[in-house]
Amino acid sequence: MNNGILLVPAKTQHLTGRDRRFQPAPAAIIPTPTPRRAFEVGRAAQCIVNRLVDAVTLDHEFLVQALRSTCAVDEFTNEIFKVYMAARESTNGISQYGPTALRAHVLRNDFMLHLGANKELAFQDAEIHNVEINTIAAGFATLSTRLVEAMRMLEAPEVASRIPENNALAGVVDGFKAALDAYVTAGRRRTSNPLAAVMMVQPGERNICDQRGLEVELRRRHGHRMARVTLEEAAQRFTYMADGTLLYTGVDGLQLEVGLVYYRSGYSPDDYPTPACWEARLNIETSAAVKVPNAAAHLVGTKKMQQVLAQPGILEKFLSAAEATTLAKTFTRFYSLDAADYATPAALEAVLEQEIYAHPDDWVLKPQREGGGNNYYGADAVQRLRAMSPEKRAGFILMARIHAPILQTSALAEQCGHDTFASVTEFGFYGVFVANGATELVNTQPGYLMRTKPASSLETGVAAGFGLIDVPLFV
């Protein structure tokens, strides 16, 4: 389980122990041609993205202004914002977001190749356009590393040399170790209990093998345990001390001091079925443990923030002119759907008439949700927009659709229906960032995830059942 490229089938995900089954994760069986130049542009931008996300989490006024309208109409975003505000106002003496705060981020910045609206660019000259910045639960570091390792071993040397190395698994785990070390250095260690990390997970997790890989690698490389807890289990497993110390008690009775909490859940309203789950999220947020992500970084990953950061002059608030220029080249076009961002409501209607109503296949309607399967396209997006109240529209953004090249992929994936099929690819670069106050301790781009989907599919999530893990072959 720890060394394979496996998923739990949906039909057995509710089972436990010996009744649970595993199957090969959907994966390509030959690498997919990828323009080296576009790949390198995305890779080079990642450390800038890491610094950008961290800087935005420290700007309280910017967060409030950017998300005010969204919080008014999107209940889930508002709940995360309430956690952020409550932790910011906590009186336990732990600085969560201020200039002396201890922070850590594990990000994945996802891109697609773009041939132009009229597909006028040659494949080797394809541009790279940003799809989203994942600030919470950026998965598949383990399985993507395993697949690249397997492909580089199986292919002939002249082919393997054109597959870029992928150190995502080791890089993410080393980031965890750096954050745990910073926890100690910052003077937050309070007990003699073993220092450990906790992964917040969903019940019946299908992608458990990817998660277990991080757990095993952290123990193997650095000697730290990583426990698994759901938000519903938090009340039984966690003890919150008055000084902010977070303690975990396992089923064996062993008590650990938690120096890091890593979220692989908490990004969907479904992860909070009871008020106790929201209470657990707040208690963790106000604790001394390093959160990956904290609530501020979670908010930076919203679709509304994606649209705001793409506005002219915004990147320059947080980055140097050169860094802002580099990053802006990877952005596509966005429109706010909040009437308050326009001179008059009629001005917003004019944008809709000119853009998505006239060219529905060139735009994507995106809500404030993660996990795949939430976006709307084409005529469906137009129909929904026309039916929405102005208030509800403010919870969405409009993003220019990326016109990716169609390739041929051979895969081991039952949902694709055929061994070889027409496909489009998406690749994301992992970013790891750790800082203590103004001191940047870690800022790395350790690896990548490449995913491929049938050209007829509108989503790419592997665990969600839309796509498969792939490997790039430089051309």
Q: 3-class secondary structure for the chain? A: CCCCCEECCHHHCCCCHHHCCCEECCEECCCEEECHHHHHHHHHHHHHHHHHHHHHHCCHHHHHHHHHHHHHHCHHHHHHHHHHHHHHCCCCCCCCCCCCCEEEEEEEEEEEEECCCCCCCCHHHCEEEEEEEECCCCCCHHHHHHHHHHHHHHCCHHHHCCCCCCCHHHHHHHHHHHHHHHHHHCCCCCCCCCEEEEEECCCCCCCHHHHHHHHHHHHHHHCCEEEEECCCCHHHHEEECCCCCEEEECCCCCEEEEEEEEECCCCCHHHCCCHHHHHHHHHHHHCCCEEECCHHHHHHCCHHHHHHHCCCCCHHHCCCHHHHHHHHCCCCCEEECCHHHCCCHHHHHHHHHHCCCCCHHHEEEEECCCCCCCCEEHHHHHHHHHHCCHHHHCCEEEEECCCCCCEEEEEECHHHCCCEEEEEEEEEEEEEEEEECCEEEEEECCCEEEEEEECCCCCCCCCCCCCEEECEEEC
The answer to whether the annotation marks 345 as part of a ligand binding site is no
The answer to whether the annotation marks 371 as part of a ligand binding site is yes
The answer to whether the annotation marks 459 as part of a ligand binding site is yes
Residues 449 and 383 in one domain: no
The answer to whether the annotation marks 46 as part of a ligand binding site is no
The answer to whether the annotation marks 426 as part of a ligand binding site is yes
**Domain-ending residue, one of 401, 424, 452:** 401
The answer to whether the annotation marks 372 as part of a ligand binding site is yes
The answer to whether the annotation marks 377 as part of a ligand binding site is yes
**Domain-ending residue, one of 358, 382, 401:** 401
The answer to whether the annotation marks 177 as part of a ligand binding site is no
Residues 60 and 192 in one domain: yes
The answer to whether the annotation marks 253 as part of a ligand binding site is no
The answer to whether the annotation marks 132 as part of a ligand binding site is no
Residues 75 and 201 in one domain: yes
Can you tell me the distance from the alpha carbon of 47 to that of 431, in angstroms, rounded to the nearest whole number?
A: 7
Domain that holds residue 376: 335-401
Residues 206-235 have a mean pLDDT of 97
Residue 119 has pLDDT above 80, yes or no: no
The answer to whether the annotation marks 303 as part of a ligand binding site is yes
Residue 465 domain-assigned (yes or no): yes
pLDDT in the model for residue 19: 73
The answer to whether the annotation marks 217 as part of a ligand binding site is no
Residues 297 and 341 in one domain: no
State what percent of residues in the chain have pLDDT above 90: 85
The answer to whether the annotation marks 374 as part of a ligand binding site is yes
Residues 259 and 297 in one domain: yes
The answer to whether the annotation marks 401 as part of a ligand binding site is yes
The answer to whether the annotation marks 370 as part of a ligand binding site is yes
Residue 4 domain-assigned (yes or no): no
Mean pLDDT of the chain: 94
Tell me the whole-structure pTM to 2 decimals. Answer: 0.95
The answer to whether the annotation marks 375 as part of a ligand binding site is yes
Residue 382 domain-assigned (yes or no): yes
Residue 413 has pLDDT above 70, yes or no: no
**Domain-ending residue, one of 401, 423, 458:** 401
Residues 52 and 177 in one domain: yes
Residues 188 and 100 in one domain: yes
Residues 70-84 have a mean pLDDT of 97
Residues 386 and 419 in one domain: no
pLDDT by residue (tens digit) across 159-203? 999 999 999 999 999 999 999 999 999 999 999 999 999 999 999
Residues 237 and 347 in one domain: no
Residues 231 and 304 in one domain: yes
